[in-house]
Amino acid sequence: MLEIKQSILMFCALGGLGCAATTPLDDPEMEDPFAAQVSEGSVLYADHCASCHGDDGSGTSQAPALVGLTEGALPLDPAPGAVRDTQFETVADVGAFAVANMPPADPGSLMADEYYAILAFALFANGIELEEELSGSLAAEIVIPR
């Protein structure tokens, strides 16, 4: 499986990117496809996900946490009574669930690159940086850290 680089970034506000720490998004001169994808994903997250998963991704009474892997976000096994009935071993597993079920009012309504951008944003929010843009084949190689 793909080895991922864990960063020591403090990700403060998913929707607004209001962080004091330096992020790949801070340098407009940086030609980084992953950073560009994360930036797009932040806007898409705010538009399509934050109302249920929370502005900071910590979850709400409507939907579970997407941020905070060490605190139990995106657990391997679904919670009892959850909509999800599959395991989240890889980022591709999360993506497949998202396409089939999200957004709840119109599942599968986003373009594939939009789902990948949101997933890239969630990875970044969890302190995971990639050296390339997130794609389906790459998502299948990334095991969710536990």
* DSSP letter string, 49-91: THHHH-TTSS--SSS--SS-GGGTSS-SSPPTT-S--S---BH
What does the block give as tokens for 19?
């962080």
For residues 48 and 33, what is the distance between their CA atoms, to the nearest angstrom?
22
The residues, ordered by sequence, that sit 6+ positions from 4 with a Cβ below 8 Å of its Cβ are 128, 129, 130, 142, 145
**Torsion sign over Cα 63, 66, 56, 112:** negative
Tally of CB atoms within 10 A around 77? 11
List the pLDDT tens digit at each of the 146 positions of the chain: 443 333 323 233 333 333 333 344 555 555 799 999 999 999 999 999 999 999 999 999 999 999 999 999 999 999 999 999 999 999 999 999 999 999 999 999 999 999 999 999 999 999 999 999 999 999 999 999 98
| Domain ranges, ordered by start, for the chain | 33-141
- Cα distance between residue 85 and residue 69, in whole Å: 19
Which numeric CATH code is attached to 33-141? Answer: 1.10.760.10
